[in-house]
Amino acid sequence: MSNNSPLIDGENRAVRYLRLSVTDRCNLDCVYCRGVDRPDFIPCDRVLRYEHMLRFAGIVKNMGVTKIRLTGGEPLVRKDCAAFMRRLRSEFPDLDLALTTNGVLLESYLDTLKEIRPVSVNVSLDSFNEADYLKLTGHNSLSIVQANISALLEAGIKVKINAVAIKGVTDAGIDAFLKFASEYPVDVRFIEFMPMGRGTIWKKASFLPASRLLELASGRLDLTPARDPESTSGPARMYDIKDGAGRLGFISALTSHFCASCNRLRLTSEGNLRTCLFDDREYRLGGALRDPRVSDAKIAAIVRAACRTKAVGARLLSGRRRRAVADGGMVGIGG
């Protein structure tokens, strides 16, 4: 098989989407992301250089990956991330590029984003209430993030808001989310809180299922399932809002898995390949990516072999007894 033939996993799913974590460092301390263990950061000398991330991007692009999302940690805290984004765009003009960010540092990236034309910028924003935002993220940055979202919209960049659903916070504050999605052309998406990492603070009492949020939203707005293909292919169930500018989405990461349509790979900032969020097997590609004697074909063969046993996360979880859905915290994996 040539290393350019499409990447199909052992369950016959085409792999087309790479989530690339450029750093495990972050400028916020979101309680659901890092947990109480607060793992050490990866030492700088083990973090992949941008040139090696570009190499990996080229290899998987040749295998049929069409979309790369930069994530982290917080991708925008890594030095020279703007230059990296520009290089990704210039080397791979036909790739869909996307970014997931907490939005705090966006202002100084606006020119770069206008230039690289991301398919979307996903901004994590868990509450429109200052006290709740502070409690969840450990920082007082709500007004900065709101201003930066406005700037993205003014620049004509597609914005998706990601809110981790937490009982007592998201349901209590739902009106602000609904107002925002009604007034602005954004996708507001609620993500079920997953117990990621052994030190997770997740507990049943704080779990708010997507179905409950949909029920609350449907009681307040006239919602109809969105029809466009983009909305039906991703993990979010999207809804149009009657007379609203934006849309609502519900990501039932725990209560209803979307494994059958999973098209993702993840590369951590250390160069570890993860084929399923819930599968802790990681394939260490850092050494190979750094080594010019290891050919792209050899690395492609490792990726292909890893995908052959890409897990079905729901099956993995059904056999597990412990609370955490993965050993690693989200901050190191990238969401």
How far is residue 105's CA from residue 26's CA, in Å, rounded to a whole number? 11
CB of 293 to ligand SAM, least distance (A): 33
Select the span of 2-10, 99-107, 173-181, 210-218 touching ligand SAM (CB under 6 A): 99-107
How far is residue 71's CA from residue 125's CA, in Å, rounded to a whole number? 15
Question: Of 151-170, which residues contact ligand SAM (CB under 6 A)?
Answer: 162, 164
Per the CB < 8 A criterion, the answer to whether 151 and 106 are in contact is yes
**Which CB sits closer to ligand SAM, 311 or 330?**
330
| 334 contributes a contact to ligand SAM by CB under 6 A | yes
| Contacting residues for 250 by C-beta, under 8 A, at least 6 apart | 189, 190, 210, 211, 213, 214, 236, 237, 239
CB of 234 to ligand SAM, least distance (A): 14
Select the span of 85-93, 97-105, 206-214, 224-232 touching ligand SAM (CB under 6 A): 97-105
Per the CB < 8 A criterion, the answer to whether 63 and 302 are in contact is no
* Amino acid at site 28: L
Fill in the per-residue mask, 2 to 31: x = in contact with ligand SAM (CB under 6 A), - = not in contact. ------------------------x-----
Single out the residue of 97, 16, 14 nearest to residue 54, CA to CA.
97
Q: Three-state DSSP class for 177?
A: helix
CA 49-74-120 angle, 5° bins: 100
Number of residues that bind ligand SAM (CB under 6 A): 20
User: Which residue minimizes CB distance to ligand SAM?
Assistant: 335
Single out the residue of 137, 99, 124 nearest to residue 21, CA to CA.
99
| 124 contributes a contact to ligand SAM by CB under 6 A | yes
| 137 contributes a contact to ligand SAM by CB under 6 A | no
Q: What is the DSSP letter of 119?
A: S
**Which CB sits closer to ligand SAM, 31 or 95?**
31
Q: Which of 23, 100, 148, 268 binds ligand SAM (CB under 6 A)?
A: 100
Per the CB < 8 A criterion, the answer to whether 52 and 289 are in contact is yes
CB of 5 to ligand SAM, least distance (A): 31
**Which CB sits closer to ligand SAM, 248 or 300?**
248
| 70 contributes a contact to ligand SAM by CB under 6 A | no
Site residues for ligand SAM per CB under 6 A = 26, 32-33, 71-72, 74, 100-102, 124, 162, 164, 191, 193-194, 196, 330-331, 334-335
